[in-house]
Amino acid sequence: MSSTTELDQLHELIGGLRRCVTSLASRYGDTVAMRRIVNDAERILNDVDRLDIDAEELNLARGVSHHHRTLEKIGIPDTQYASDFWQDVDDEGLGGTR
């Protein structure tokens, strides 16, 4: 989602989903299949609520997108660890024996 317009469209679609599920539930009542549909719709609605929170955090609600910054790489040396580093550690089974 990169703009307010897209978020607005999503909310319109979610409103339509809510109306359809309500209509289906009134027509078919409390059946197992209908409960699944209601649960799925609720999960989608909750995810969209979470998307709104994330969009605010990323300032997408104002149409501003941020590029990911390059993270600093941390070098890991190839040297052996001191033997006491592994003291009291269990071998979880890489196939070898002690």
Domain coordinates in residue numbering, the chain: 4-60
Measured CA to CA, the distance from residue 39 to residue 24 in angstroms comes to: 13
Phi-psi bin for 11: left (phi > 0), alpha (psi -120 to 50), beta? Answer: alpha
3-state helix, strand, coil in the chain (%, to 5): 60, 0, 40
Q: 9 or 1, which is more confident?
A: 9
**What pLDDT digit, counting tens, does each position of 27-74 carry?**
999 999 999 999 999 999 888 888 878 877 776 545 544 445 566 777
Q: What are phi and psi of 31, to 5 degrees?
A: -105, 165
pTM: 0.49
Confidence (pLDDT) at 32: 93
